[in-house]
Amino acid sequence: MRPLLPDILGAVGETPLVALERLGRGLPGRVAAKIEYANPGASVKDRPALRIIQDAEKAKTLKRGQTVIERTSGNMGTGLAIACAVKEYPLVVVMSTGNSLERVRMLRALGAKVVRIPQVDGKPGQVTSRDLQAVEKATIALQKKLGAFRADQFVNPSVIKSHYQGTGREIWEQTRGRVDLFVSVAGSAGTFMGAATYLKKRKPSIQAIAVEPAKAAILSGKVKNPGRHKLQGVGYAEIPALYDARYCDGYIQVTDREAADTARKLARREGIFCGFTSGANVAAALKLARKARRGALIVTVICDSGLKYLSTDLFPQRE
């Protein structure tokens, strides 16, 4: 049990690891999921958001009262909004209109100013690489205008550190070192790289498998020109700057339909309410569990809450 905390930032991390016994019933491998929506901002991005701010304060690259700015699909922005609320920094978040409305409303509720950039060629729920380029251009211009500190999750090494010292360590301790495979998408690549490097340092035989949208399998080189897909925050046109292929033992592709179907099954059969990307992670883990040696433990990540997807077609309204 946690002690009395001085503020909400102390609640970041130490999330539960849950066995998916119903979805994985009868499979040779066993699948467990790290429930990252147990963080205060309901996503895995709370960890790097807090670490970025802490490291910038320590390095004095973020000054008292300075505006923080970030390009985000929503989750990193939410993590930053929580940290900035407590530490009293103004926050500007720049995001595509293709990202879900729940994320926008949550950010504004937490005090962030949200600048939404019209899509170039995507559609709601499907942000393309050209959409992302438009968001990046706007972010650079605003950063210069405001003299803001940019969190820059796609290149900031604090992102990997947060998952190395947090997510990876926790998985190791929660499984008592019995984990055999780690499976996750690589959006900014922070979760994948941080957890993979920690786990492989403790046990070199652990395999780290990167999950990709089937229409945007850039890391594996199977797709050169990424198409539209529903996995928000992952699968754009370029390999993430934080990604190092030396720590990846293989790739697995998941379709939008597989991701959505698995997310719905997680809600109905495991009581785990999550989004498209979490569904993709679990769908990939279950595929690996079908081919794994008996008793192998496969760990993946539930990235965020299904509450952030209620305006999408993931959980259609029924009368």
Task: Give residue 236's pLDDT band: very low, low, confident or very high (50, 70, 90).
Answer: low
Residue 217 domain flag: yes
Task: Identify the residue with better confidence: 311 or 293.
Answer: 293
* Token output for 189: 């690549």
Task: Identify the residue with better confidence: 1 or 271.
Answer: 271
Residue type, 316: P
Position 319 scores a pLDDT of 45
Position 54 scores a pLDDT of 98
Domain limit, last residue, from 124, 150, 176: 150
Averaged pLDDT, 3-23:
97
Tally of structural domains, the chain: 2
- Are residues 51 and 159 in contact, defined by beta-carbon separation less than 8 angstroms? yes
E-state strands within 143-223? 149-150, 181-185, 207-213
In angstroms, the CA 72 to CA 4 distance is 32
Q: What is the pLDDT of residues 287-298, one digit of tens each?
A: 999 999 999 999
Least-confidence region, from 57-71, 89-103, 134-148, 229-243: 229-243
Averaged pLDDT, 128-156:
94
Q: Are strands 113-117 and 250-254 parallel, antiparallel or unpaired?
A: unpaired
In angstroms, the CA 24 to CA 42 distance is 25
Q: Which residues pair with 150 in a beta bridge?
A: 69
Residues 172, 303 within the same domain: yes
Averaged pLDDT, 69-83:
95
Position 275 scores a pLDDT of 95
- 256-265 helix and 276-291 helix, angle to the nearest 10 degrees: 90
Residue 189 domain flag: yes
* Token output for 271: 């009581």
**143: which residues sit within 8 A by CB, 6+ positions away?**
69, 150
Residue 137 domain flag: yes
Residues 57, 33 within the same domain: no
Averaged pLDDT, 142-158:
97
Q: Given its phi and psi angles, is residue 64 left (phi above 0), alpha (psi -120 to 50 degrees) or beta?
A: beta
**108: which residues sit within 8 A by CB, 6+ positions away?**
114
Residues 50, 89 within the same domain: yes
What sections of 147-184 are H helices per DSSP? Answer: 158-162, 169-174
Task: Give residue 127's pLDDT band: very low, low, confident or very high (50, 70, 90).
Answer: confident
Averaged pLDDT, 82-94:
98
What average pLDDT does the chain have?
94
Residue 157 domain flag: no
Domain limit, last residue, from 130, 150, 170: 150
Averaged pLDDT, 34-61:
98
Residues 57, 130 within the same domain: yes
pTM of the model: 0.94
- Are residues 298 and 207 in contact, defined by beta-carbon separation less than 8 angstroms? no
Q: Annotated active-site positions, please?
A: 45
pLDDT value at 318 more than 70: no
In angstroms, the CA 272 to CA 300 distance is 13
Residue type, 318: R
Averaged pLDDT, 270-277:
97
- Are residues 110 and 82 in contact, defined by beta-carbon separation less than 8 angstroms? yes
Residues 184, 282 within the same domain: yes
Where residue 205 sits, what CATH number does that domain have? Answer: 3.40.50.1100
Domain extent, residue 212, equals 8-44+162-309
Least-confidence region, from 14-28, 208-222, 231-245, 253-267: 231-245
Q: What is the pLDDT of residues 173-228, one digit of tens each?
A: 999 999 999 999 998 999 999 999 999 999 999 999 999 999 888 898 888 777 77
Cα–Cα distances in angstroms (integers) from residue 111 to residues 44, 152, 213, 239, 264, in the given order = 20, 20, 33, 32, 31
Cα–Cα distances in angstroms (integers) from residue 290 to residues 38, 253, 272, 287, 294, in the given order = 28, 15, 21, 5, 9
Task: Identify the residue with better confidence: 173 or 239.
Answer: 173
Residues 237, 192 within the same domain: yes
Position 235 scores a pLDDT of 62
Residue 316 domain flag: no
In angstroms, the CA 288 to CA 208 distance is 12
Q: Which residues pair with 254 in a beta bridge?
A: 213
pLDDT value at 88 more than 90: yes
Position 75 scores a pLDDT of 92
Residues 139, 178 within the same domain: no
Domain limit, last residue, from 118, 150, 182: 150
Residues 36, 172 within the same domain: yes
